Amino acid sequence: MFLRAGGNGVSRRQHLPQLVGLGVAAVVLVGGTLGPPVGGVDGTVRTVLAVFAATLVLWITKPVPYAVSSVLCVALLHALGTVPTFADAASGFASTLVFFFVVLLLVGRSVANVDLDDWVAARLVAARDTPRRSVRRLSVMVLLLAFVLPSGLARGVTFMPIIDRINASFGAPADSQFRRLAYYVIGHLNPVASLALMTGGSMAVATAELVNASVRPLTWVEWALYMAPPTVLLFACCTVLGALYYNVSGEVPTGASTGTDADSEADDPTLRALGRDQRLVLGGLGGAIVMWVVGSFVGIPTLVPAVLIVVLFSLPGVGVLDASDVRAINWGIVFLVGAMLSLLDVMRTVGAFDLVVEAFGVVVPPGAPDAVVVAAVFAVAVLVRGTFSSVSASFVVLFPVVLEGLSTTGVTPLYVSFGLTTILMAATFLPFNNPAVLVAYDRGPLDATDVFRLGLLTLAVAVVVVVLSWTVYWPFVDSVVTI
């Protein structure tokens, strides 16, 4: 039935990569569990690594949805006897990270449900200016919206029609330099803005929770102190370099519409005063931010404020969130995170990470400077990142491996965490590497070559920002701040 879906040869060719991935995963699993011992590796360790490798192939090639492959992973861990109970095999689903993902996705839907994101974005159209100044305003709006809408994809979709309206008001063609730069901002750079706050998006949440579990407790305020300035610097530098690359004009284009004759903006509901539901959501988010700040000093768990505002938005008479929003959550990525955390627990229990450390010792020359080791490990991580369509999924997979691999060096684990999340978020070379970039590529003027070049530009700037932060800014924060 799988081959016949679509009923023609084109469909078969489309499914070929998925079928190959399914076959490779099966071979890896069977070979790892039933094949002869390799290098004296313990049988249980070999089985766990086989399940990990097979699951990784399924996640990359996606012959089945993330949720299905994740459930299969947990079932295999239990069925193959790597853990004594099913609860041990599914231990990752009890992590705070899984629940944080769910409530954060619901918070994002609450903002979109009341059109608060549209209201913010429409301020761009309300004050037309030169293309260059419009890009600056767009950049500021994207950064501000990242504080209340924890979804890069949702922010991107929100700004696309706004950008198109501004471009039309300039009388510019669909492939104008302004529109290309603007789609770079909402495609490549918009997800980067999510790193400014611990609650800015799935990548930030994943990083924070894994740091809490593997490195040290990290508060909401600490995250903002460590990550907000580097994130803003990365965003601003890339925007400036992008403007130079596309040579966006600083003059009002000939034939541009004035603020009143472009369209009847007075009748646009997005330009009116905030409505009741919008004020409620904005107030709830403001209250949550206050609780996150206060909680950093008095010990309130980061999950609690997010849960409280989700409950508030779901109450009778409020109705900002309902059952349809719960059904619309991307449960695939939630299951992937739970399964990966379960795998990590089992790998740690059976000692599989010892092999990871040994493998790094073989790849990296003995006695190499820490900077060389970190650069080599991050380079490999970027290459692996290129095979994933979800940056948070790639981070959840790569983070524990990188952390264990660098455990024998003198580098600071916290800096490794921040550096890796920044580098992986910037490493977008293909449209499918990030949903926000894919949508911008599909609806905007950028082609695959543009995506690749702009991805290289973003990664290069990210490397410079990480190096500066690692050597200057993060040590400065360590020396002057104690939460």
pLDDT digits (tens, 9 = 90+) for 4-54: 444 555 456 667 777 888 888 899 898 888 877 666 676 888 888 889 889
pLDDT digits (tens, 9 = 90+) for 219-273: 888 999 999 999 999 999 999 999 888 887 666 655 555 444 444 444 455 556 7
pLDDT of residue 426: 92
Q: Do the beta carbons of residue 257 and residue 171 sit within 8 Å?
A: yes
pLDDT range class, residue 75, cuts 50, 70, 90 = very high
pLDDT of residue 4: 45
Q: Is the pLDDT score of 3 beyond 50?
A: no
Provide the CB-side half-sphere exposure for 318 (13 A, CA): 16
Q: What average pLDDT does the structure give for the chain?
A: 81
pLDDT of residue 162: 80
| Greatest mean pLDDT among 182-191, 378-387, 443-452 | 182-191
Mean pLDDT computed over 342-351: 83
What's the CA angle centered on 149, arms 93 and 99, to 5 degrees? 10
pLDDT range class, residue 156, cuts 50, 70, 90 = confident
Angstrom distance (rounded) from CA 470 to CA 86: 41
Place of tokens 């894919």: 438
CA 45 to chain centroid, in Å, comes to 30
Angstrom distance (rounded) from CA 463 to CA 469: 10
- Terminal-residue alpha carbon distance, the chain: 58
Tokens encoding 363: 């790849």
Model-wide pTM > 0.95 = no
Angstrom distance (rounded) from CA 195 to CA 420: 12
Could you write out the DSSP letters of every residue in 63-87? Answer: SS-HHHHHHHHHHHHHHTTSSSSHH
pLDDT range class, residue 180, cuts 50, 70, 90 = very high
pLDDT of residue 181: 92
Tokens encoding 369: 């400077």
